[in-house]
A and B are shown apart, each in its own frame.
Chain A
Amino acid sequence: GAGVSQSPRYKVAKRGQDVALRCDPISGHVSLFWYQQALGQGPEFLTYFQNEAQLDKSGLPSDRFFAERPEGSVSTLKIQRTQQEDSAVYLCASSFGLAVADTQYFGPGTRLTVL
């Protein structure tokens, strides 16, 4: 595809429900990132994949958050037993290579609202 796509664009969940957010990176991009953006704040790093390997998950706020990229392309961010504080926009980004200065291309994000 032309860019990073994410689905769904909007998700409303009742507190306690599990949600799954999908990211389709740019084809051929090795690196994939997830970020969380609260209202009025800059994005905050959650986790990083290099192909299918999750190399950094230091930003995941709790063990309710889980991410995977089993075949090195599409990634899913799963949040179990959602809480109101999980309400945010979840952004996915991908970059072509492994260099730390590689440009990251962001998707439009998934806005999660937990009631």
Chain B
Amino acid sequence: LAKTTQPISMDSYEGQEVNITCSHNNIATNDYITWYQQFPSQGPRFIIQGYKTKVTNEVASLFIPADRKSSTLSLPRVSLSDTAVYYCLVGGFSSNTGKLIFGQGTTLQVKP
């Protein structure tokens, strides 16, 4: 299963764009890239998922280069409420069960 590497923590200010990059050098051909967000005392929440190029939804954008060995989650104009832990998951889908394999995640602190 592909291992992911992402920064342990990041700081930002309200209104800024935040980019969190995840490395996954051993990604397999049929692997998706998925990002989850987790607030304290809550379960993780799906943010976005992609396979290649760029995906955008109402919350974030996900940029994936052609070699797929990394991906970048982009959060536009963050607010204090975006302070959370962000998990990058790759190859976390077993062929049978779909179980997710989380790393330590990136703790994003948004300051006023």
Which of A's residues lie within 8 Å of B, judged by CB? 4, 31, 33, 35, 40-45, 48, 55-56, 59, 91-93, 95, 98-109
Known: A56-B94, A100-B93, A101-B32. A45 touches B43 (CB 8 A): no
CB-defined contacts of B49 to chain A, threshold 8 Å: 101, 103
Report the tally of A-B residue pairs with Cβ distances under 8 A: 67
Number of interface residues of B (CB under 8 A): 23
List the 5 shortest-distance A-B pairs measured between CB atoms, nearest first: A106-B43, A42-B102, A100-B93, A100-B98, A45-B99
* B99 and A59 contact, CB distance less than 8 A: yes
CB-defined contacts of B98 to chain A, threshold 8 Å: 31, 33, 48, 95, 98-102, 104
CB-defined contacts of B34 to chain A, threshold 8 Å: 101
Which of B's residues lie within 8 Å of A, judged by CB? 32, 34, 41-46, 49, 87, 93-105
B20 shortest CB reach to chain A, Å: 15
* B97 and A48 contact, CB distance less than 8 A: yes
A32 shortest CB reach to chain B, Å: 11
CB-defined contacts of B46 to chain A, threshold 8 Å: 103-105
Known: A56-B96, A102-B98. A107 touches B103 (CB 8 A): no
* A100 and B43 contact, CB distance less than 8 A: no
